[in-house]
Structure formats: C-alpha cells, structure tokens
Amino acid sequence: MFSIPDKTLEDLEYTEVLRQCAAFAITPMGKEVVLALRPQTEEAVVQNNLKMTSEYCASFDNDNRIPNHGFDDISSYFTLLKVENSVLELEAFRNLARTTETSNTLVRFLEKFKPYYPNLYTLSNQLYEEKQIKPTVDAVIDRFGEVRNDASDTLYSIRKQMQQLRGKISSSFNKALSQFSNADYLDDIRESVIENRRVLAVKAMYRRKVKGAIMGSSKTGSIVFIEPEATNAQTRELKNLEFEEGEEIKKILSKLTDFFRPFLPYLELQHTFLLELDVIHAKSRYAQEIEGILPEITQDQPRIVYKKAFHPLLLQAHKLENKVTHPQDLELDPENRIVVISGPNAGGKSITLKTVGLLQLMLQTGMLIPVHERSKATLFTQILTDIGDNQSIENHLSTYSYRLKNMKYFLRKCNASTLFLIDEFGTGSDPELGGALAEVMLEDFYERKAFGLITTHYSNLKALANELPAMVNANMQFDNKTLEPVFKLVMGEAGSSFTFEVAQKNGLPFNLINRAKKKIERGKVRFDATIAKLQKERSAMMKTGQSLKEKENKVKTESDKMETMNAKLKAKLTSYQELFDHNQRMIVLGNKLNELSERYFTNDKKRPLIADLLRLVETENAKRKRKTVAVAKKEREQKKKLNEEVKKDLVQVRKEKKKQKNQPKVVEKPKPKLHVGDQVRLFDGRSVGSIDSIEKQKAIVNYGAFTTQVNISLLELVTPAKKGK
C-alpha cells in the first residue's frame, strides 16, 4: 500500500486547503473528518470519490437538489446501546428519530433520482427506509420532548391522580389564604413561592396562629413563610406520586432502549452514510467556491493536461484582495515526462510547481480542481516534493545536506507511477559541482520513467532537457520592456534568468553590473543573451499572432453580418415582389367588380349581374387551383410575415403615441373622416388595406391575405372610396 509522505502535504500547503474545505461542512463531525482527509492512491476509490463530489456539485444547478442532511452526533449512544440494562436519555430518542427521518428522506430521494446520482445512490443502497423507529418514539415522546401521558396505563393513572391532587392543593391553599387574609394575619404581599411550593406571607407576630410548615422568613424577619397544614400534607402525597411517575418513566425509557438495541448495526451504518454525505457536501461547496471541475482521468495512458489551472489558495487570497490570478497551461505525457522550468526569480516558477502538486493532491482526495473543462489528469502512487529552504536545525543539517538526504529518498522511491516536484534543483553547493550532481540524478529519474517538474537556473540541466527525447524545457515569460514577470509558462524552450536585467530594475549601479558581466565567461553571457533574445522574439511573435487572430475574427464576424444582411434583403425583396403581384391582382379584381356594379346601377338587372359574378368567381377559383403547392406555402409564409410586420408597426405606433402623450400638445390639422371602402394604412406602416366595416371607433381592415381590427386613430387615409350612384 502506497501513501503520500507528510512532507509532500506540508510543502504543498495541503492542510490549508482542507481547512478551507472543512468550513463548508454543516456538522462538527463532518469538519473533523474533512481535516483528517488524506490523498488516496487506489484508482477505484479515487474515481468513486470524484464522481460522487461531481454529482453533488451538479445538484446545486438543477431542480433536483439533494435534501438537507443535517444531523446530531449519535455515535455516543452506540456505546450505551452495547451495554446491557443501560437506558438512553429522553433527548437521545428524539435525536435518533430525527436522524432516521433525515436518512429516510435521503434514501427515498436517491432511489427516485438514481439516474441523476448513480454513485451517490451506491452510497445509500446498503440502507433502507426504516419505518418503525419514528412512530415508536412518537408514541412515547411528544413534540415538546416530554413522555406522553398514554405511554403506559400506569403512567396515565399516576398523572391523573397528580392532576387531581394539584387541584386540591390549589383549593386548600386558596381557602387558607382567604381565611388568614380576613383575619389580617398576612403581610401586604399575601403569598410567595419557595422550592416551587406556594406559601403564605404571615406577619411574624402571628406565626403561631397559622398552623403549617415554616419554609423560611424575610431578611428583616418581619415575614414568616408558612405552607398551610392541609396543603403541606397534600404536597407530601404529591411528592410520592412524582417519585412513582419518575420510576414509571424509567421503565418506559428502558423498554424503549431495548427496542433500539437490535437497530444498532442500522444506526451505525446510517451515521456513517450521513457523515460521508456531509464530507461530500463540503467538497462540493468548496469546488463551487473555486469553480472546480472533474477533468478526464486517463489512467491507461498517464497524461496531465492542465489548461487554465489556478492555484486554489492563491485564487482565494487574491479574491479577497481584488487581485488578478494568472492561470497556467502545462502538459506531461510519456513523450514529455519531465519538464525543466527556467526563467527569472519572482516569475512564478515555484507557484507553477506548487499548483500542479496541490491540484494532484486535491484530485486524489476526491476534490474537484480549478482547471478548464478540456483538462486531463492521471493518478500517481507517489508524489514527492523538495520545495523551500528545508534547513534542519534539529539534525544540524545545512540546506544542501538536507536536500541530498531528500534526494536519497527520491532515488529509493522513484518509479513509473511517481510524480516528483523539485524547486531550485541542485542549488546550495558549488554551481559546477552541484549542477553536475543534479544532472546525474535527473538522468536517473528519467531512466526510471518517472513524471516530474523541476525549476532551475543551471544551464547544464536546460541543455540536458534539449538532449533527452522525453524531457522538455519550459520558461516563465518576462516582459523585456517593463522588466516585469508575465506569469505565463511557455513550453518548448529554456528561459533566461534575466539576472542583469532584474538587478538593473532593482536599482543596482550600471558600473557594478558591467563589471560583473566582465568577470564571467563570455560564452555564458552569449548563451544567456541568446536565450533572452529568443524569448523576446517569441513574445513578439505571440503578440503579432494574437493581433492577427483578433483581426481575422473581426473580419469573419463582419463577413457573417454581411451574409445575414444580404439574406434578409433578398428575402424582403422577394416578399415585396409577391406582395406587389398580389396587390395588382386585387386591383384588377376590384376594377372588374366596380364595372359590374356600375352596369347594375345603370340597367338594374340582377340576373346578368349574378351570372357575371359567378363567371368572375369561377375564373378566379380556376386561377387559384392552378397555383402550385410551393406557391401556396410561400403565400402562407408571406401572410405570417405580413402579420408580424403589422404587429411590429402596431407596437411602434403605440410607443409613439405614448411619447406623444408625454409631449406638449401641438395643434394639428383635422383628420379626414374614414369611410367603408377607403384605402388606409397604419401610421409609419407600409401595408395598405381597405376598410370593410367601422364600429365604435374600430375598423376592420382587409389586407387581402388577412383582416385585422384596428383603432381608427391609428389609421391614415391613402385613397378615398369611389362613390357610386
């Protein structure tokens, strides 16, 4: 069984992630479990945990949200249930009933929505809906947390006697109060309550006149508190009944405890289920907070492809400070197993290293990670880190000695399923000697087929990455103009340390920098300068490429707009042509009808008129029958478009009318009166129709293809109707 070393968890600040995640658990037990989580190395366990977290996270955005799973800690009751003749407290039964009801609700829900939450369902399928516990508890304990009167016949009888006796006590006390009050034996306050018993406030001088039990006196001694004799005897009898009530309640609760003993395995399973669900809920809420997702897990062919990967702790810290967090893109696969990251200090090398390591730990704990949805990941049995100073004061080890000890552990554990992360590899000793030792260790890691990331300033390690096929250089970009880091990782080439540029930016004198340049080998300066130059050229090319891509996207957008506009114009022209043809036919038909009506008014003969009308109708009908299906379809589309245009015109006109109401009134010319047969159109409209009828300031306007009812005030006259005689 493999496990992730504690040093790795410490180096990558894993416990801080757990602390942030634990804040989202809704129970104290859930918080404790989250804080105790550790990364897993078994693929099946990790995959199942990730899928459950992903399913729960998805429930936040759909209608089938998982019900509340809040519950009390009932684990302490399990120990008592295992002890023979033990009795649970009254509140324990209520907690057990509530927890069972919560569990039943979740079991029913996950059964119903099994297709949505298949992995969460497997978490609950060992449980069943328990229907005996709650009714049994409710039959004994009421909603106020008290034992019911009818919990047993004996208890019912005892409480009935107690109720009657309390009535007698009240009656006898009131009688004594009235008697001694009339005799003027009582103080102005008349009565009080001591030890939950009503007592008479008797003046001290009359205390021998009142028979009963003295319960106390006032501070000054002027008042003596006495319980009347009759009341005192009844109170003693009530105390006896209260003792009997307590004994009977113990018997009832003992019987109820015995009822729960066989349910102990179920209750333990139920508690485990609810606790695990709370942990999954905490992971899901944390994933929602950092916008985490489940990347594709490619275990058969190990591969890490992180796109837009964020360091979760840095992301949360920057959110609070309203700062920008820079994501990173990184890829590891069998062809590029080891990445050697170089570049200037404070450029983000260590953060990139920690981001990959921390995301890997989170993933193997069943937590979703803040990466792009097209990202891929794999699982490792070992994650080894060497990050930070690591100086050991206890063992009197220097930084370099401690790192060598750490490398010895790496060499013993490294294999094909290991991810190693080393910051500032080889530092702490003579650059040439330390660099050579680092080189041979890196070669050993390479031969063991391990996956890893290292950061370095050593040129020999950068050269090694260029020579070995499954090792690749990468660099953190640096803006040579502003001398500021860009926090962007570029794969495929080594980076310059920008030593002299950073020194210049921090204000070191030019003469010192120039003297330093003269002291080092010329070849080293030229090599570093060449790398810096390549970086600058790459940066310029990337900016140019980005600019060209933006222009290309802009041209494509404009082209799409033009195509859409042309299509709309073409459709509109076709529509107008068809509308024009239709109107022409309507005009011809109207002229023919006009001729028939003129002829009828002249000769006043109905038969010729009817014959001509029938011929006209038959001719028109024959024309319509000759129309193809395509034409008919076009007419329907035209009718629909025309109707929509009219509606749009109506909306526009209404808006204009509203505006006009808010504007000062202008004296307008009197509008012409509209009549049946007039050719009209809507204000600002294009379609012309004729009025078929007018009623109550509403006109039925015939547009040929359809008719519509319009307010007369919205119409303007185009052509008045011809008057016949």
Rounded average pLDDT per 10-residue block, the chain, 725 residues: 81 94 93 94 92 92 85 88 90 92 93 92 89 92 90 92 91 90 87 88 88 87 89 89 92 93 93 94 94 90 91 90 88 92 77 92 95 93 81 51 81 90 75 79 91 88 87 79 69 68 68 70 54 66 81 84 82 81 80 77 75 75 64 71 70 66 54 79 74 81 74 80 60
Confidence at residue 399, expressed as pLDDT on a 0 to 100 scale: 65
The answer to whether the beta carbons of residues 701 and 646 sit under 8 Å apart is: no
Instruction: Tell whether 375 and 446 lie within a shared domain.
Output: yes
Q: Where are the beta strands (DSSP E) in 147-287?
A: 186-194, 197-203, 212-217, 223-228
Q: What is the domain-level CATH number for residue 371?
A: 3.40.50.300
Nearest residue to 315 (alpha-carbon basis) of 283, 360, 284, 358: 358
Instruction: Tell whether 394 and 488 lie within a shared domain.
Output: yes
Give residues with Cβ within 8 angstroms of 616, minimum separation 6: 589, 592, 593, 596
Name the domain count of the chain.
3
What range defines the domain where residue 173 resides?
Answer: 152-253
Instruction: Tell whether 371 and 486 lie within a shared domain.
Output: yes
Confidence at residue 520, expressed as pLDDT on a 0 to 100 scale: 64
Q: In what order do the strands lie in the sheet with 212-217?
A: 186-194, 197-203, 223-228, 212-217
595 located within any domain:
no
8 located within any domain:
no
E strand or H helix at 540, and its extent? helix 522-603
Give residues with Cβ within 8 angstroms of 454, minimum separation 6: 338, 339, 340, 341, 420, 421, 422, 423, 425, 442, 461
Whole-angstrom Cα distance, residue 504 to residue 399?
29
Would you call 551 exposed, middle or buried from its count of C-beta atoms within 10 A (0-12, 13-18, 19+)? Answer: exposed
Instruction: Tell whether 176 and 236 lie within a shared domain.
Output: yes
Give the residue from 465, 498, 531 where a domain finishes.
Answer: 498
Instruction: Tell whether 352 and 487 lie within a shared domain.
Output: yes
List the structure tokens of 423: 């910051």
Instruction: Tell whether 335 and 281 lie within a shared domain.
Output: no
Nearest residue to 532 (alpha-carbon basis) of 505, 496, 499: 496
Give the residue from 253, 283, 311 where a domain finishes.
Answer: 253
340 located within any domain:
yes
E strand or H helix at 398, and its extent? none
Q: What is the domain-level CATH number for residue 288?
A: 1.10.1420.10
Confidence at residue 413, expressed as pLDDT on a 0 to 100 scale: 87
113 located within any domain:
yes
Confidence at residue 219, expressed as pLDDT on a 0 to 100 scale: 86
Q: In what order do the strands lie in the sheet with 376-377?
A: 296-297, 376-377, 304-309, 328-332
Instruction: Tell whether 318 and 420 lie within a shared domain.
Output: yes
Whole-angstrom Cα distance, residue 345 to residue 506?
12
The DSSP line for 404-428 is HHHHHHHHHH--TTEEEEESSTTTT
- Taking only Cα atoms into account, the Rg of the chain, rounded to an integer number of angstroms, comes to 46
707 located within any domain:
no
Confidence at residue 395, expressed as pLDDT on a 0 to 100 scale: 45
Instruction: Tell whether 315 and 442 lie within a shared domain.
Output: yes
Instruction: Tell whether 159 and 92 lie within a shared domain.
Output: no
Confidence at residue 392, expressed as pLDDT on a 0 to 100 scale: 45
264 located within any domain:
yes
Give the residue from 498, 527, 543 where a domain finishes.
Answer: 498
Instruction: Tell whether 401 and 462 lie within a shared domain.
Output: yes
138 located within any domain:
yes
Instruction: Tell whether 345 and 384 lie within a shared domain.
Output: yes
578 located within any domain:
no
Confidence at residue 406, expressed as pLDDT on a 0 to 100 scale: 80
Q: How far is CA 586 from the centre of its chain?
A: 62
Instruction: Tell whether 280 and 136 lie within a shared domain.
Output: yes
